[in-house]
Amino acid sequence: MLDADNLRHTKLTLTNGAGAMPALGFGTLIPDPIATKNATKAALEAGFRALDTAERYRTEKEVGEAMAEVFKDGKIKREEVFVATKLWNTNHRPERVKPAFEASLKKLQLDYLDLYLIHTPFAFQPGDTQDPRDADGKVIYDPGVTLLETWGALEQLVNEGKCKAIGLSDVGVEKVKDIVEAATIKPAVVHVESHPYLPEWELLDYCRKNGIVLQAFAPLGHNSEPNLLADPVITEIAQRVSKTPAQVALAWGIQRGTALLTTTKTPSRLKENYEVSAIPEDAVREISEKITTRIRFNAVVQTGVPGFIPREKKSH
């Protein structure tokens, strides 16, 4: 049983990378730039020590500015914060990986990254348009590069010392196996949608056996319907243990051995999401066994198009 007071400080050692990743992280997929910067600063000040962004979110600059201001104050040091960003689908060709990585590093105002993820296993047509489409509005994929070739370029970043760990995002267990079996540097982290309605047990089991940290995004169901936080199993436990449904769902995620990311612009919710403490083991089991609803809120794993990001507007 994890110490109730220390659950939020849980760190997961990166077997296939350097250091340890805080289990409780803050995601920065927030559409408004000013809100992104303010929320990132507030998250660090509240105690979060893991930040997740992506080239595709277009929030790296704001996350970088927020970190720079907080580090300048001197209360939090760069080495205390675990920073992750992601390579977008249009940069899968090996020669595009390093320039994309360096552009992200520059926006983040950092000289190294703790974790770099391949955002999805789908390669899109290379270029400056993040969402390339044909005349019929269909995504233009890039058949000229394999995921393993892209992975090899990420391994090179680790060898050069600017990236402490690399991983995969929005993948199923088969793709993870392909990379693990062929890679020189194995994935340190696999970042996927996961919550009590999508527990990803098979993937979690495979990750455990191979020393990979599974990091869950949308651990509270992303405000989507059906509403995970209104699930009777969760609300009953929340009442029983005097916590909010969100705190119960987050505790379940950490206690079953995953890392997770929460995203909010609301200060009260930020505090609620950080004030996570352990729930009884029987409650963890109850959530795992009694919740049988199965739903994926983000179809990105099928297409490579993230469901939570609005489509680019065409510029005239």
Catalytic residues: 57
Q: What are 140's two structure tokens?
A: 């233009």
Phi/psi of residue 247, nearest 5 degrees: -65, -35
Give one DSSP letter per residue of 62-115, joined into a string. Answer: HHHHHHHHHHHHTSS-GGGSEEEEEE-GGG-SHHHHHHHHHHHHHHHT-S-BSE
User: CB 274: neighbour CB atoms within 10 A?
Assistant: 17
Strands 20-22, 11-13: pairing is antiparallel
CA 90, 96, 99 angle in degrees (round to 5)? 115
Q: How many residues would you count in the chain? A: 316
Rg, Å, the chain Cα set: 19
Neighbouring-strand partners of residue 85: 116
Strand ranges for the chain from DSSP E: 11-13, 20-22, 24-27, 50-52, 82-87, 115-118, 166-169, 189-193, 213-217, 259-262
